[in-house]
């Protein structure tokens, strides 16, 4: 996955990750879960599949 693909994935998938987190944890922690999810994806950019799913 390239940086431009990462940006597009973040814009597309962050709301879905947030919605998933919202169903499972407290509202106050949802933004942190989204941030951590995408931080890990950024660090492992070469391992993220072309069509990532939240």
Q: Residue 5: is its pLDDT beyond 90?
A: no
Residues 6+ apart with CB under 8 A from 48: 1, 6, 9, 41
Q: Exposed/middle/buried for 23, CB within 10 Å: 0-12, 13-18, 19+? A: exposed
Global pTM reads 0.82
Please answer whether residues 30 and 18 qualify as being in contact, where contact means their C-beta atoms are separated by less than 8 angstroms.
Answer: yes
pLDDT of amino acid 54: 55
Q: Residue 53: is its pLDDT beyond 90?
A: no
Q: Residue 45: is its pLDDT beyond 70?
A: yes
CA distance 18 to 14: 6
Dump pLDDT digits (tens) for 9-41: 999 999 999 999 999 999 999 999 999 999 999
Please tell me what DSSP assigns to residue 44. T
């Amino acid at each position: 996955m390239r940086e431009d693909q990462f940006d597009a994935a973040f814009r597309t998938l962050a709301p879905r990750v947030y919605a998933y987190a919202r169903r499972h944890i407290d509202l106050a922690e949802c933004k942190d879960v989204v941030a951590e999810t995408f931080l890990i994806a950024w660090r492992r950019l070469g391992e993220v599949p072309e069509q990532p799913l939240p």
